[in-house]
Amino acid sequence: MSGLVLTAENQGVMAFAELTPSVITRAKAGDEEAFHVIFNRYGRPILSFIHNLVQNRELAEDLAQETFVRAYRNLETLKDEARLSTWLFGIARNVARESARQTRKDERKVGLDEPESLSLESHEMLPEGAMLDRELHETIQRALLTLDEDKRLVFSLKIFHEKSYEEISAITGYSIGKLKTDLHRARAEMRKRIAPYLSDQ
């Protein structure tokens, strides 16, 4: 699938267009313009989700590209068009997991060494409020990185992407009971990690 370009530079201007029922049908039939509508609608959330998992902006962009390439090649396997979002997040999760198996140690090191990639460019002059927002964002991202894979996955999908437990179960294959337990523990760990920062403000 050519022409899909998802980068940190253009993700902020993507249009969140509403999908009409015919869009997925046309995309399944090979209509690249229709698939671009899907890409424009879900590109930014998928990139954000993958970045939460791998903590490396450049890698996240590559994996988001791979997610949509796979989606385009396998769109005919989507049985329930109403579950397109769940299907795409499932592909993204698998792509990120495959990458993590290959380069887990390197990814963790890069994610910690490049905090500037998590928000604004380090050379930009920021007002005090923006600096605090950036610092909090980086604190949250670092705290997220300390969670194990299952907790980071459910926390990202539930908190950042507002998915239901049913959707997360479909994406991950985990039981709702396990997801609730993991989310409860993830929230507790995140609170503990972020508390020192919040108490200083």
Report the CATH number at residue 141: 1.10.10.10
- Is residue 201 a part of any domain in this protein? yes
Residue 15 has pLDDT above 70, yes or no: no
- The pLDDT of residue 6 is 53
Q: What is the mean pLDDT of the chain?
A: 79
The tokens of 83 are what?
């579950």
Q: Do residues 155 and 101 both lie within one domain?
A: no
Of 113, 148, 173, the one marking the end of a domain is: 113
- Residues 6 or more apart in contact with residue 64 via CB below 8 angstroms: 6, 43, 46, 47, 50, 92
The pLDDT of 85-114, averaged and rounded, is: 75
Q: Do residues 91 and 69 both lie within one domain?
A: yes
* CATH code where residue 84 lies: 1.10.1740.10
When pLDDT is cut at 50, 70 and 90, the band that residue 18 belongs to is low
- Is residue 119 a part of any domain in this protein? no
Residue 143 has pLDDT above 80, yes or no: yes
Q: Do residues 107 and 156 both lie within one domain?
A: no
Q: Do residues 146 and 177 both lie within one domain?
A: yes
How far apart (Å, rounded) are the C-alpha atoms in residues 191 and 89? 26
When pLDDT is cut at 50, 70 and 90, the band that residue 153 belongs to is very high
Residue 55 CB neighbour total at 10 angstroms:
23
- Is residue 120 a part of any domain in this protein? no
Of 91, 113, 135, the one marking the end of a domain is: 113
Q: Do residues 102 and 162 both lie within one domain?
A: no
Cα distances (Å, whole numbers) of residue 121 to 63, 124, 125: 22, 6, 9
Q: Do residues 131 and 160 both lie within one domain?
A: yes
Of 113, 146, 165, the one marking the end of a domain is: 113
Q: Do residues 150 and 93 both lie within one domain?
A: no
Question: Could you tell me if 20 and 26 are in contact, meaning their C-beta atoms sit under 8 angstroms apart?
Answer: no
What whole-number percentage of the chain has pLDDT above 90?
45
How far apart (Å, rounded) are the C-alpha atoms in residues 53 and 156? 8
Strands, E, within 44-195: which ranges?
Answer: none
How far apart (Å, rounded) are the C-alpha atoms in residues 173 and 41? 24
Residue 68's domain comprises: 1-113
Q: Do residues 138 and 174 both lie within one domain?
A: yes
Half-sphere exposure of 43 (CA within 13 A, CB side): 25
